[in-house]
Amino acid sequence: MKLKIKNWFDTGAPFVWLNAGAVSISIIMVVGLILLIAVRGLGHFWPADVAVFDYYAEPGDAPVRLMGEMVDEEVVSRSRAGNPGYEGETIQRNLIKTGNRDISGLDFRWILDAGIKNKAYPDNSMVVERREWGNLYAFLTSIELDGQQYNNESGNLWDRFQETITKNNGIYADIKHIEKDLIGAINYKMERLRLKERGLELKSQKTPEKVAALVQQREVLQLEYDSYTAELERLYGILNGSSFTAKTAEGKEIKIALAKIVRAYQPNAMDIFDKSIFYLEKFWEFLSDDPREANTEGGIFPAIFGTVLMVMIMAVMVTPFGVIAAVYLREYATQGPTTRLIRIAVNNLAGVPSVVYGVFGLGFFVYFLGGSIDQLLFPEALPAPTFGTPGLLWASLTLAILTVPVVIVATEEGLSRVPRAVREGSLALGATKAETMWRTVLPMTASAMITGLILAVARAAGEVAPLMLVGVVKLAPSLGLDGNAPFLHLDRKFMHLGFHIYDVGFQSPNVEAARPLVYATALLLVMLIIVLNLTAIRIRNSLREKYRAAEQS
Amino acid sequence: MQQNNPNTAKIIKAYAEEKVVTEPGTTTKTHAIDMSNIVKSDVDAKLADEKVCIEITDFNLFYSGKQALKDINMTIPDKRVTAFIGPSGCGKSTLLRCFNRMNDLVDGVTIEGNIKLEGNDIFDKNVNVADLRRRVGMVFQKPNPFPKSIYENVAYGLRIQGIRDRRTIDTVVERSLKGAALWDEVKDRLDDLAMGLSGGQQQRLVIARAIAIEPEVILLDEPASALDPISTLKIEELIYELKDKFTIVIVTHNMQQAARVSDYTAYMYMGEMVEFNDTSTLFTNPNKKMTEDYITGRYG
C-alpha cells in the first residue's frame, strides 16, 4: 500500500493535480468576483415591477397599504425579526423600496413576508424619478400645464405627461448648459480679471488706464451675464409652469412641479422590449451623467473622466522618467555596488504602502512645491491657494512616483533582452552608442516599456488611499479638462472611481439606495482597468511579434 | 547567382575532396588539402610585394590580466583575403575584433603595442571609433540583422551618416544587395522584415549592410559557421568577388574554407601567431611542425 502511494507520487500526477487545482481556484475566484459585482451592480438598472399590497405588521393589526419594489429577501431567526406574532422558528422578511422619502421619511423598509396580503401589480402604478427626494411611487391623477388641468378623461393623460417631461428635460438641459458652461465661463473670466487686477496691485502697476481697461472688460462680461440670466428666467418660467398630482398607495394626494422630474415610467405595463430599452437608457445615464443626491443617483461620468485623465497624465510623466532611469542604470552606469544599491532601493520603493506616498505627496508636492509655486507664480490669488492645495497634478505626480519602480524594472529587463549581437552589428556600422540606443535598442525594448506601463496603469487606476490626501474629492464642480483656456486645469480637484466606491459605499446617507451603485461602480472600475490593460497588451504583442525573431538570435 | 562562375566548379570539387579527407584511413596523407585543385591565378604574389593595409606590431592583449594575444607581428595586405585559422580559443577572433576596436566594448581589456590602418594608429586617442568602424566593417558569426525591413537594414549605415536623400539611399541599397548577391532574391520584398529571410540570406544581407557604407576593410568572423553547405558556398563565392574592392580578413574554423577563399593564411595557437604565409605555401608546405599537425588533423 505504501509502495503504491510512493509510485503515485513518482508519476508526478499529484503535482499536476495540485497545479491544476491552484489555477482553477484562481480562475474561479476572478470570474466569481466579476460575476458577483456584475450581477449585483447591473441588476440595479432593470425596471422592477411595482407591487401594491396590504401589510399587517402583526396578525390582526390594521393593515397599511404599501407600494414598492421588492429588492431583497432574507430568512432570519424569530428573535432577530423582533418576535412578531407570526408562526415559525425562522421568519422570512423582504426589503422593499417604497420611495416617497418626502412623505414617509424612509425609502426602504424591511417587512415580514407573512404580513403581506392582497398583493397586486396594477398597470397604472407609476415610478417617478426626481431630482430631489428620490423615487416617488404613486398613481397619476392629473397634470397641470400653464394653469390648465388635464385628467385622464380622454385616456391620453400618460402620453401627455411623458411628452411634457421630455420637453421639460430639453429645457432643463438648456438651463444646465447656460448655468454650467456659459455662465461658468463668464465666472471663470471674471475671476481671471479679478486676479489680474490684484496682480497689478501687487506689482504696483495699477494705473488708471489699466484699471479702465479691466472695468470695460468686466462690463462686457456683465452684459453677457445679464443676457443669460434673462434667458434663464424665461426658461425657468416655462419649467415651473407645469406640475402634476398623484395619489400614493395610502391615498394621499401630492402635487409636484414637473421641473423636478427626471423621468416617469410604469414598469408593470412595460413588456420585455420596453424594459430593455429603458435599461439601456438608465445604463447610459449612469455612464454619462453627473451624480445626483449625494452620489446615490444619477451617473458617475466625472469619476470615470477623472480616473482616466489622472491615469493618462501619470502615464505621460512616469514613462519617460522610468525609461530614462532604466537606460542609465543598465546601459551607462558602471555596474557595481552603487547600481546594485540603487536597484534594491527601486525595488523596495515598489513595496512601500501607498498611503505613505500620499503623505509624502501632501507634504512635498502640495505644501512645499505647490506652496512655493503659489508664492512665485500666483501671488495674486493668495491667500486662496492655486497649486498649494491637493489637485490633479499632485495626484498624478504622486502616483507616478508610486509606479516608477515598475516601469524601471520592466524596461531594464527589456534592455537586458536585446542581444549583444544586434548592438555590435549597429556599432560595427559606425553608429555611436547613443545612435545604437536610439535606432535599435530602444525600439526593441518598446514592448517591455509598455509592459511596465500596463502594470503601472493598472496599479494607479486602482489606487485610492494616496489620492484621498492629494486631490480626490467626493464631488468636483468642474472637470479637469474643459473649454476654458488653458483647457487642462491641473490645479483642480477631481473625482475618482475608486474613491467614489468608498464614498458611496461608506459615506452615503442612504446605504440601501447606494449599495447597487457601489457594485456598478466597482464593475466599471474593473472594466476600465481591463480595457486599459487589454489595449496595452495588444500594442505590446504586436511589438513583441515584430522583434521576437531578433531577440532569439 | 552566377551558376556558371568557373570558381563554383572548383569549390564544389573541393567539397568532394573534403569528404575524402574525413574518411578513416587517410591519415597517411601528408596534407589535408590538395591545393592543386584550388590554386588561384594570383596566388603566386608574395607577401612582401603586397601593399600593406593593416600593420600589427608587438601586439599584446589581456582580458583582466590574462594574456589572450602574445606579441603579434604581421601585415595584412591590401585588397586580398587573409584567413585566420586555429583551434577554438586561440585568439583569432580577438585579434580580428581589434581591427575595428570591438574589444573596447568588453570590460577589462588592456592592450600593448599598436595596430596601424594605412599608417595611422587605430588606438590613438584622437581616433574617432565610429569613423574607424565605418572604414573597417564587420560581419559576425551569427547573422544579426536588425528587426527592421530588408531595405532599412541596408540603409542603416547611411542613415547613421545622416544621408536622407531617398534616391541616393535607393541606389546604394540596390548596389549593395547586388554586391552581396542577394538582390534577385529580395528585390520584390524590400519592405519585409529581415527576420523572414533564411540564415544564409540573412548573412548575405549583413554583408550587404557592411558594404553599403563602402568600408576599406571587411572583417568576417566565421561568417559561414552557422550556415548550411549551399549558403556557405554562396558566401564563399561572394568573398571571392568582394576582394577586388575590399581588403578582407576572415576567421574560420574550416580549413578547407580558408584554403578555398584566402590568398594568405595565418595559423594561430594559444594567442600566438605561429605561421603566416600565402595560403598555398601554408597548406602544402608549412614551415612549422605545429602548423602541419593542425592542418593534417593530428592536433587535438
CA atoms within 13 A on the CB side of B217: 26
Q: Do A444 and B142 touch (CB under 8 A)?
A: no
Residue among B138, B143, B196 minimizing CB distance to A428: B138
> Residue A552 has what pLDDT?
52
Residue B39 confidence class, pLDDT cut points 50, 70, 90: very low
Q: Do B134 and A430 touch (CB under 8 A)?
A: yes
Name residues whose C-beta falls within 8 Å of residue B116's C-beta, 6 or more positions apart in sequence: B54, B55, B56, B57, B122
Three cell numbers written together for B62: 589581456
Average pLDDT of span B161-186: 88
Residue B148, min C-alpha distance to chain A (Å): 8
Burial of A206 (0-12, 13-18, 19+ CB in 10 A): middle
Chain A residues touching residue B106 (CB < 8 angstroms): none
- Cα-based angle A515, A516, A521 (whole degrees, multiple of 5): 100
Chain B residues touching residue A428 (CB < 8 angstroms): 100, 102, 133, 137-138, 140, 210
d(CA B45, CA B263): 9
Chain B residues touching residue A448 (CB < 8 angstroms): none
Residue among A425, A439, A546 minimizing CB distance to B144: A425
> Residue A395 has what pLDDT?
92
Report yes or no: A267 and A275 within 8 Å, Cβ to Cβ: yes
Instruction: Give the DSSP per-residue string, B134-197.
Output: HHEEEE-SS----SSBHHHHHHHHHHHTT---HHHHHHHHHHHHHHTT-HHHHTT-TTSBGGGS
> Residue A550 has what pLDDT?
59
Three-class secondary structure of residue A244 per DSSP: strand
Residue among A429, A443, A444 minimizing CB distance to B156: A429
Q: Which of B105, B141, B144 to mutate to test the interface with A (most CBs of A within 10 A)?
A: B144
Average pLDDT of span B177-185: 86
Q: Do A550 and B146 touch (CB under 8 A)?
A: yes
Please state the domain extents for chain A: 51-120, 142-265, 305-502
Chain A residues touching residue B206 (CB < 8 angstroms): 425
Residue among B131, B195, B213 minimizing CB distance to A550: B195
Chain A residues touching residue B133 (CB < 8 angstroms): 427-430
Q: Do A439 and B159 touch (CB under 8 A)?
A: yes
Q: Do A429 and B100 touch (CB under 8 A)?
A: no
Residue A322, min C-alpha distance to chain B (Å): 24
Q: Do B134 and A550 touch (CB under 8 A)?
A: no
Average pLDDT of span B50-60: 86
Report yes or no: A264 and A165 within 8 Å, Cβ to Cβ: yes
Q: Considering the entire predicted model, what is its pTM?
A: 0.78
> Residue A1 has what pLDDT?
64
Residue A549, min C-alpha distance to chain B (Å): 6
In whole numbers, what is the pLDDT of chain B averaged over residues?
Answer: 80
Chain B residues touching residue A439 (CB < 8 angstroms): 156, 159-160
For B192, name the nearest residue in chain A, comparing CA atoms only.
Answer: A546
Report yes or no: A454 and A460 within 8 Å, Cβ to Cβ: no
Report yes or no: B225 and B142 within 8 Å, Cβ to Cβ: no
Three cell numbers written together for A206: 495699477
Interface residues from chain B to A (CB-CB < 8 Å): 100, 102, 105, 130-131, 133-134, 137-138, 140, 142-147, 156-157, 159-161, 193, 195-196, 206, 209-210, 213
Q: Which of A334, A417, A418, A429 to mutate to test the interface with B (most CBs of B within 10 A)?
A: A429
The Cα-based distances of B253 to B16, B141, B289 in angstroms read 18, 11, 19
Report the topology of domain A51-120: SH3 type barrels. (2.30.30)
Q: Which of B156, B207, B217, B227 to mutate to test the interface with A (most CBs of A within 10 A)?
A: B156
First to last CA, chain A: 51
For residue B158, pLDDT beyond 60 = yes
Residue among B133, B142, B147 minimizing CB distance to A430: B133
Report cis status (omega within 30 of 0) of the bond before A486: yes
Q: Do B145 and A425 touch (CB under 8 A)?
A: yes
pLDDT tens for each residue of chain A, 553 residues long: 677 888 888 888 888 999 999 999 999 999 999 999 888 888 888 888 899 988 888 887 888 888 888 888 888 888 887 777 787 788 888 888 888 888 888 888 888 888 888 888 888 888 988 888 888 888 888 888 877 888 877 778 888 888 888 888 888 888 888 888 888 888 888 888 888 888 887 877 777 887 888 888 888 888 888 888 888 888 888 888 888 888 888 888 888 888 888 888 888 888 899 999 999 998 998 888 888 877 778 888 999 899 989 999 999 999 999 999 999 998 888 888 999 999 999 888 888 898 999 999 999 998 899 888 888 887 777 777 878 888 899 999 999 999 999 999 999 988 988 888 888 889 888 888 888 998 889 888 888 888 888 888 888 888 889 999 998 888 877 777 777 777 788 888 889 988 988 888 888 877 777 888 889 888 888 888 888 778 878 887 887 776 665 555 4
Residue A466's φ and ψ, nearest 5 degrees, are: -65, -30
Q: Do A428 and B102 touch (CB under 8 A)?
A: yes
For residue B146, pLDDT beyond 50 = yes
Within B85-128, residue ranges assigned H as helices are 92-99
Q: Do B145 and A424 touch (CB under 8 A)?
A: no
- Express as a percent the part of chain B with pLDDT over 70: 83
Residue among B105, B131, B206 minimizing CB distance to A430: B131
Interface size, chain A vs chain B, as Cβ–Cβ contacts under 8 Å: 73
ipTM for this prediction: 0.79
Residue among A419, A430, A546 minimizing CB distance to B193: A546
Residue among A421, A430, A547 minimizing CB distance to B213: A430
Chain A residues touching residue B210 (CB < 8 angstroms): 428-429
Q: Do B137 and A549 touch (CB under 8 A)?
A: no
d(CA A247, CA A125): 10
Residue among A427, A443, A546 minimizing CB distance to B133: A427
Q: Do B157 and A444 touch (CB under 8 A)?
A: no
Q: Which of B131, B160, B220 to mutate to test the interface with A (most CBs of A within 10 A)?
A: B160
> Residue B2 has what pLDDT?
41
Within chain B, residue ranges assigned H as helices are 6-22, 92-99, 129-135, 150-160, 166-179, 183-186, 199-212, 229-242, 255-261, 279-284, 289-295
Report yes or no: A69 and A49 within 8 Å, Cβ to Cβ: yes
Report the topology of domain A305-502: MetI-like fold (1.10.3720)
Name residues whose C-beta falls within 8 Å of residue A22's C-beta, 6 or more positions apart in sequence: none
For B135, name the nearest residue in chain A, comparing CA atoms only.
Answer: A430
Give the residue among A116, A147, A141, A106 at the shortest CA–CA distance from A126.
A141
Report yes or no: A421 and A497 within 8 Å, Cβ to Cβ: no
Three-class secondary structure of residue A308 per DSSP: helix
Residue A429, min C-alpha distance to chain B (Å): 6
Residue A546, min C-alpha distance to chain B (Å): 7
